[in-house]
Structure 1
Amino acid sequence: MKNILFFFLLITLTLSSQELPKGFVYLYDIDNSIQTELRYLSSNNFIGKPIDGYNKDCLIVSKSTALSLKKIQEKLHKEGLSLKIFDAYRPQMAVNHFVRWARVINDTVMKHKFYPNVAKSKLFKLGYISSKSGHSRGSTVDLTIINTKTGKELDMGSIYDFFGHQSHPFYKKLTENQQKNRMLLRKIMLDHNFRPYDSEWWHFTLRNEPFPKTYFNFPVD
Structure 2
Amino acid sequence: MRGGEMDRRSFALALFLVVAGLTPVPARADLPDGFVYLRDVAPDIEQDMRYAGLNNFTGAPVPGYEAGECVLRRDAAEALKRAQRSAQALGLSLKVFDCYRPERAVRAFGAWARAREDGRTKSQYPHLSKDALVPHYIASQSSHSTGLAVDLTLVRQGAGDRPPLVRDTCTAPPHAPAAQADDSKDKLGNTANAVALGKLGPGELDMGTSFDCFDRASNTAFPGLTPEQRRSRDLLVTLMERAGFTNYPAEWWHFSLARAANRRSHDFPITSRPQQ
TM-score by length of 2: 0.71
Helix, strand or coil at the partner of 1:200: coil
Q: Which has the higher contact order (CA 8 A, sep 6+)?
A: 1
Percent identity of paired positions between Structure 1 and Structure 2: 40
Deviations along 1:13-35, one digit per CA (max 9) or x if unpaired, are xxxx7621111100000010000
- Counterparts of 1:102-141 in structure 2, within 5 Å, are 102-111=113-122, 113-125=123-135, 127-141=136-150
Instruction: Find the aligned partners of 2:41 and 2:115 in 1 and give their Cα distance.
Output: 40
- Counterparts of 1:1-221 in structure 2, within 5 Å, are 19-111=30-122, 113-125=123-135, 127-151=136-160, 152-212=203-263, 214-221=264-271
**Residue type of the partner of 2:91?**
G
**Residue type of the partner of 2:207?**
M
Deviation, 1:211, is: 2.9
Displaced runs of 4 or more, over 3 A = none
Gaps of 5+ in 2: 1-27, 161-202, 272-276
**Residue type of the partner of 1:200?**
E
Instruction: Find the aligned partners of 1:215 and 1:134 in 2 and give their Cα distance.
Output: 8
Helix, strand or coil at the partner of 1:67: helix
Which deviates the most, 67-76 or 154-163?
67-76
Instruction: Find the aligned partners of 1:179 and 1:18 in 2 and give their Cα distance.
Output: 43
Whose radius of gyration is greater, 1 or 2?
2
Deviations along 1:71-105, one digit per CA (max 9) or x if unpaired, are 11112112211000000000001011101111113
TM-score by length of 1: 0.88
Deviations along 1:135-170, one digit per CA (max 9) or x if unpaired, are 000000000000012231001000000000110001
Instruction: Find the aligned partners of 1:194 and 1:41 in 2 and give their Cα distance.
Output: 24
Asked if the contact 1:53/1:93 (under 8 Å) is kept, the reply is yes
**Residue type of the partner of 2:145?**
S
Point out the structure with the larger helix share: 1
Give the number of aligned pairs.
Answer: 202
CA RMSD of the aligned region, Å?
1.2
